Amino acid sequence: MSPLKLIETSPGAFSLLLNAGTTQVDELIEQLGHEPNGYFWEGVAQILVSTEAQTLEGRFSYDPEGGMFCAYGKDRTALQELADLMSAVATDNDRMRKLVTSAKANGFEFDD
């Protein structure tokens, strides 16, 4: 089951939500020196878009908080694609470890 929810907030407007601290990889994130909050998950989304799904760039916006990740926009398909990418990372310790290690090697800094 995915920890992410895609909802229609008003006709034609969608939000992709993840409650921070509810994923299978939270303990690993902390072991890697990060806080599994909404800002950390925004970084995960940015990395996934830039490395695995460049076609999603600019198709939605981010609005995370400490306790929640949120991406929003009018393009439901793009948000669903992001949900699929993020869900794969949020449920797999090995993928998360590789993502964080690669991000660090490339100079990416998570804002957590």
pLDDT at 1: 52
- 39, amino acid identity: Y
- Which amino acid, 111? D
Query: What is the Cα–Cα distance from 100 to 69, expressed in whole angstroms?
Result: 17
Please identify every stretch of the chain with a pLDDT value under 50, giving residue numbers as ranges: none
Q: What pLDDT does 2 receive?
A: 77
Taking a C-beta distance cutoff of 8 angstroms, is the pair 30, 97 a contact? Answer: no
Report the predicted TM-score, pTM, of the whole model to 2 decimal places.
Answer: 0.95
**CATH: 1.20.1290, 1.10.3470, 3.40.50, 3.30.1370. Which one for 4-101?**
3.30.1370
DSSP 35-104: --SHHHHHHHHHHHHHHH-GGGTTSSEE--BTTEEEEEES-HHHHHHHHHHHHHHHT-HHHHHHHHHHHH
Q: What is the pLDDT of residue 94?
A: 97
